[in-house]
Structure 1
Amino acid sequence: MKQPYVYIMASRRNGTLYVGVTSDLPNRAYQHREGLVPGFTKTHGCKLLVWYEPHETMIAAIEREKQIKSGSRRKKLALIEALNPQWNDLYDTVI
């Protein structure tokens, strides 16, 4: 069984942010990094995995994704800074 995750991709430190949900974080992050996913992340260059959070169920992950998306940019930045203050690309930690 795959692990559900909520994640944030960024174009750069304090740049454009994208919040998503997936059951295959390594593959999804790879798709964003390589520009294989048409849409927002490709258009805005969101290639850095800067935050992620595992969940027990996909329903819980989707609820959390909605909560984060409805929050302010300041709250999203605070999530990133708490886990990853240097804004490192966390892709290598999930592959």
Structure 2
Amino acid sequence: MNNIHQYWVYILSNKTRSVLYIGVTNNLYKRFIEHKTGIIPGFTSKYKCHYLVYFEEYHDINEAIVREKELKGWTRYKKEKLIRNNNPSLKNLAQEMNWE
């Protein structure tokens, strides 16, 4: 039996795109909704990081965790460049996927 797992490293931002949050999950839709509705207390709730601006998909959780840590170690400039290379207008990708 072929058991394919999916994991995502994602970046959320606030309305003005002045705050960035990086996370990892095995269910991007569910995690986005948790952040959006404030079910997860903490940074994203406090700074209203309700906009999905970037994500990458992985099939190995260890690779996803390594990537998450790598991105968290980057400068803000490098993170913004990565986001803009894939999402130049900084759209909320959750809207593109009809999650809102």
Question: Is TM-score (shorter-chain normalized) higher than 0.5?
Answer: yes
Q: Quick one: percent identity of the two aligned structures?
A: 37
Count of aligned pairs between the two proteins: 95
For residues 52 and 31 of structure 2, what CA distance do their matches in structure 1 show? 10
SS at match of 1:65: helix
Q: What is the CA-CA distance between 1:13 and the residue it aligns to? A: 4.3
Task: State the structure with more CA Rg.
Answer: 2
SS at match of 2:40: coil
Structure 1: segments with no counterpart, 5+ residues: none
Checking the alignment, whether the CA contact within 8 Å between 1:26 and 1:94 is kept in structure 2 is: no
RMSD: 1.5
Q: What is the CA-CA distance between 1:2 and the residue it aligns to? A: 4.3
Structure 2: segments with no counterpart, 5+ residues: none
Counterpart for residue 92 of structure 2: 89
TM-score by length of structure 2 reads 0.88
SS at match of 1:15: coil
Counterpart for residue 75 of structure 1: 78
Counterpart for residue 55 of structure 2: 52
Checking the alignment, whether the CA contact within 8 Å between 1:4 and 1:24 is kept in structure 2 is: yes
Counterpart for residue 10 of structure 2: 7
